[in-house]
Amino acid sequence: MAATLGRICGSKLLKSVPALNLQQANGLSTAKTWTNGQKKLVATIGALTGGVGALIYALEQSVEASGTEVHPPKMPWSHSGLISALDHSSVRRGYEVYKQVCSACHSMKYIAYRNLVGVTHTEAEAKAEAEGIMVRDGPDDAGNYYDRPGKLSDYFPSPYPNEEAARAANNGAYPPDLSYIVSARHGGEDYIFSLLTGYFDAPAGVVLREGQYFNPYFPGGAISMAQVLYNEVIEYQDGTPATQSQLAKDVATFLKWTSEPEHDVRKQMIIKVVGIMTFLAAITYYIKRHKWSALKSRKIFFVPKKD
């Protein structure tokens, strides 16, 4: 150890190094080699970047403030917490609302009956729901098409055969597919709830065409979809009072699930990741203390040679 310290001292590694003066520090800078043109170019790029960023932010705030629609308020959803799961009873009731009300105009072509199993229905219940529709299938061995009862692998049926038929039945408006509507609309389930419960009489000065209705949450205020949710418009199987707000809340929760079917799995993964990372952090801390305890607790003595 003494020999090691002697070599270190002999190599002058432990000697203090005088601080650099201003002239030496300037000599280390690479900016000194830049020409005036390069400096102006860098300054111009920086100014343009900052200006563009400020302009985009200002335009976004201006558009949000000058929009013709009312922004939906934030609702206290039970699934909005970091590790809060969807209310599956509400999801099931929302499916009833879609089936009895919304499916008359809106399709859900990306949702199959098998997706209901384990979420809102048992396998037997989902099979019974699927068998309630008739599906055009074929061709058979004779080359003919035929109708058969639905099965779990079938997707929700569309109320119209094509887009043209849908527009013809709705005064030229095309009812959007609802499979991912919550993810596709700014505001998510808050927007869906506010839209379904936000029908009012048109104020003075607002002109609506035939077949249009006033809803301040819809862009422009004029919407071709009539109000479809009223108190007791359907009857829930579980006996829950079917008020307008309850109907809107349940169908919005159902559409949240169809837009994010991995919602609960994702939040379960958060719990698992936090648990595993906590365990690994504790083990890492213990190993660090164990490995370094001998080095941190040892004492080094320098014993000079005696003449």
- Binding-site residues for heme c sit at 102, 105-106, 225
Q: Are 137 and 147 in contact (CB under 8 A)?
A: yes
Query: From the annotation, which residues make up the binding site?
Result: 102, 105-106, 225
Task: Identify the three-state secondary structure at position 17.
Answer: coil
Closest CA to 157 of 192, 122, 131, 182: 131
Q: At residue 276, what is the residue type?
A: I
Cα 169 from chain centroid (whole Å)? 33
SS3 per-residue string spanning 22-51:
HHHHHHHCCHHHCCHHHHHHHHHHHHHHHH
Cβ atoms 113, 95 nearer than 8 A: no
As a whole number of Å, the CA-based R_g of the chain is 34
- d(CA 280, CA 286) in angstroms, rounded, equals 10
Q: How would you label 261-274 residue by residue, b for 16+ Cβ within 10 Å and e otherwise?
A: eeebeebeeeeeee
Other beta carbons within 10 angstroms of residue 254's beta carbon come to 29
Taking Cα atoms as reference points, which of 202, 184, 182 lies closest to residue 193?
A: 182
Cα 157 to Cα 2, 131, 178: the distances in Å are 87, 12, 12
